[in-house]
Structure 1
Amino acid sequence: MKLYEFEGHKILARAGIDSPFFVVVSDLDEVKQARKRLKFPIVVKVQVLSGKRAKSGGIKIVKNEKQLFSFCKESFGKSFNGEEVRFIILAEKVEIVKEYYVAITYDTVRRTPFIMFNSDGGIDVEEIQKRNPRSILRIDIDPISGPRKKDLEKIFQSFSYSSSDPERSRRRIEKFPLNSSRIRSNNIDNFIDFCQRLWDAFTRFDCRLVEINPLAVVDNKLIAIDAKVILDDNGLARHKDLDVTSKGAISAIPTERELEAKKIDSDDYRGSAGSTFIELGGDIAILASGGGASLLVMDSLIAAGGKPANYTEYSGNPPLEKVEKLTKITLSRENLCGCLVAGAVANFTDIYETLSGFIRGLKAVRPKPSYPIVIRRGGPRQEEAYKYLSEFSKKEGFDIHLFGPATPISVACKTMVELSNAYKELQVTSAKF
């Protein structure tokens, strides 16, 4: 689980790592109250899970109330890098002497945690790696004993010599042993203590990543200006005391269709339909069945060159009324060029019942869909369902193509893409005349 910056600061604080004083606000009334606790200039930062906030205008320094309220008013409830801004940090501006980059994470290949350090903080680690990948110091950490003092001393000695010439620093590390006359002992002790506290936060709260960028020197102290923390989902049950906001699709601003789809299951416990509904940018509507099969459907469609208009699925033998509602919502999208109804072979989901719900929803869509519809299902009452679909298609004039469980999902998806492309070409040709 990714955490917002302010949530990351809370975790670091519990390990004894300082940050600038800040207040978290969620509306303009809270901004008014928080303003009384801070002096200008104030650093304002939108709270989203995506990176590069500063480059996208999500972090600014405001010098007066007009700038403060203008920024907050323009940010609250708006989309920032595809996420809804629900919180903003108002932080004191501190005088920074020097900035660094430090992080602890896991190497999943070597199966060991490690610490990364760079003497140039405040910029993306990706940019650091592009400029000079060797400038990033990396040292593995024993998961039992934690970071070794001599390794942390090595890191400190490296960045204490020069931030502009990391290669020179590396050569000097090899040439000179650690010497107290070269490095102030109180500074190195502070650095070692800081890294040990960072390791404490990483292990105590079951983190996958703890990143501070920048780590700043302020009044001869190390301060976490920003905090990026990712918790291990498998360890969340052990940390119910953590005050964190649930994450996932809710971080993005839900569309009207997404909200309507979630209502389907709210008052009917029978099966599941629409509890997961995500609008995408394509033109082929998706009604998948089963979580695993639905992912295969999406992958196969994209691999065949198709672009899904949405992701949703139904499962657990939902009644036809719920499938009907989900169908109406899914097919209400404008400019569709196809509809794919697909899933694995069901064990107990009534294929006739669910596809009858699809037909009822299809009949209610206006204007009447003229695009191709591909259905690939299998399970109880499948033959009865397909007979009904075939008769319905001929009678009502829908372009429905039926495939049974003997046809691979990948083949059905490829057929869907071919039919959709032909439909689009026909639309273009018709428009010319």
Structure 2
Amino acid sequence: MDLYEYQAKELFARHGVPVPPGRVASTPEEARQAARALKAPAVIKAQVKTGGRGKAGGIRPAPGPSSAEAEARRVLGMDIKGHTARTVLVEKATVPFEEYYAAYLVDRAAGTFLAMVSTEGGMDIEEVAATRPQSLARMPVDPAAGVDAETARRLTDQAGLPEDAREQVAAVLTGLWRVMVEEDALLVEVNPLARTSDGRVIALDGKVTLDDNAAFRHDHAAFADPPPDRGAAGLEARARARGLNYVKLDGSVGVIGNGAGLVMSTLDVVAEVGGGRPANFLDIGGGASAQVMAAALEIVLSDPDVRSVLVNVFGGITACDAVAEGIVTALGTLGEVGHPIVVRLDGNNAEAGRAVLDAARHPMVRMVPTMDDAARAAADLAAR
């Protein structure tokens, strides 16, 4: 889960990393109030989970409360690389004397953590790494040893930071490491890490990606975006809340399968037979229960673009009779179903699954023995 800047800074402050004072606002009037409470010049910062806010006009100075209200009105609702700014961070303006870069990330290729520090903050780090790699210090971090004060000082030395800034930056680096480990993050980044004219070192920006697989160890629910209630994003959010791997596509044939490889193959076959394109990718996973199958069918049938559904299951861990029970359960709770459902069952308990569907005798369900024929049937039905 990616965090907004203000959320990342909440974690920074919790672990001793200095950040400017600020408040979040969702209306221009709230921005005015926040700026008044700061009693200092402010900056209005669009809260979106993408970079390039400054270039897009999403970061604007506000000398006082009235200008904060005016600038927030300009920024709220702004589209930045496909992300809509629904809130702004009203933050005390800080003029940097120098700008640094600091980050920790999971280096999957090396199977460890990687620390990166540079004196060239405020720029795209990819550009620095490509054009001036000598300006970016990289150091693998032993997960067992972590980053203590001595390791942090070595990082600042390797990056060539000014001597009189190294102790403060080292303290920030140890704080950021606590964020990385104690919050189970995959990425912790500050760009820029600013040194002010009075010698303070402070995180002017923050980017954090949390590991969803470790969510059970934390109380991070407040960081999650409220699920959209409509459109493709709404369907994906509803599916995610039920533990389903769903991606909305632009066709008319809903596709449900067990296993990412099988679902991908099914998408290809549907596209090849003509008559309709896949409307979604939905993997119910291995060992799916009847309840999971019912939830999957409900999600797919709620897509207004879907005109037919193809359920393609090869039973292994997933038993075909459980899939069939899920289909019957879903059809019983959804009420009138206006779209045909083509089912191909093979493998574990396939005969029992077919018997369940035969006994249900639902007029909208038809069974087809092979994947190619099932895809062709679903595409033909979608085209009618």
Please give the range of the TM-score, normalised by the shorter of the 2 chains.
0.7 to 0.9
Deviations 1:191-250 (A, max 9, x none): 33333333333334333322111111112121100111233445444444xx66243xx4
**Is the CA contact (8 Å cut-off) linking 2:324 and 2:357 kept in structure 1?**
no
Deviations 1:370-413 (A, max 9, x none): xxx643235464334665899957xxxx9x6713xxx4xxx44x
Identity across matched positions, percent: 22
1:223 and 2:196 aligned:
no
Q: 1:90 to 1:132 in 2, by over 3 A?
A: same
Residue of structure 2 in register with 1:402 after alignment: 368
Q: Give the counterpart of 1:245 among 203, 215, 222.
A: 222
- Equivalent pairs counted in the alignment come to 368
Q: 1:234 to 1:122 in 2, by over 3 A?
A: same
Give, in angstroms, the shift of residue 103 of structure 1: 0.8
SS in 1 for 2:311: strand
Deviation string 1:31-56 (CA, Å, 9 cap, x unpaired) is 34213123575322232333333344
State the partner residue of 1:192: 170
Q: CA deviation at 1:136?
A: 1.7
How far the C-alpha of 1:102 sits from its partner, in A, is 0.9
9 and 301 in structure 1: CA distance in 2 versus 1, 3 angstrom threshold = same
- Greater shift, 356-365 or 130-139, is seen at 356-365
Residue 309 (structure 2) pairs with residue 339 (structure 1): yes
TM-score when normalising by structure 1 = 0.66
Q: Aligned runs of 1:20-419 on 2, under 5 Å?
A: 20-38=20-38, 41-62=41-62, 68-73=68-73, 81=81, 85-142=85-142, 143-144=144-145, 146-147=147-148, 149=150, 152-153=153-154, 155-156=156-157, 158-160=159-161, 184=163, 186-218=164-196, 219-240=198-219, 245-247=222-224, 250=225, 253-255=228-230, 276=244, 280-288=248-256, 293=258, 295-303=260-268, 306=271, 308-312=278-282, 316-318=289-291, 326=299, 328-330=301-303, 332-333=304-305, 339-345=309-315, 346-347=318-319, 348-349=321-322, 351=324, 354=327, 364-365=337-338, 374-378=342-346, 379=350, 381-384=352-355, 392=363, 402-403=368-369, 407=370, 411-412=371-372, 416=375
CA shift, 1:116, in A, is: 0.5
Choose 1 or 2 for highest CA Rg. Answer: 1
> 1:15-38 CA distances to partner (integer Å, 9 max, x unpaired)?
322112211223455334213123
| Structure-2 change in CA distance of 1:139 and 1:359 (3 Å) | same
| Paired position in structure 2 for 1:177 | none
When residues 304 and 101 of structure 1 are mapped into structure 2, their CA distance, relative to the original with a 3 A threshold, is farther
Aligned partner of residue 16 in structure 2, secondary structure? coil
Cα distance in structure 2, aligned partners of 1:120 and 1:228? 17
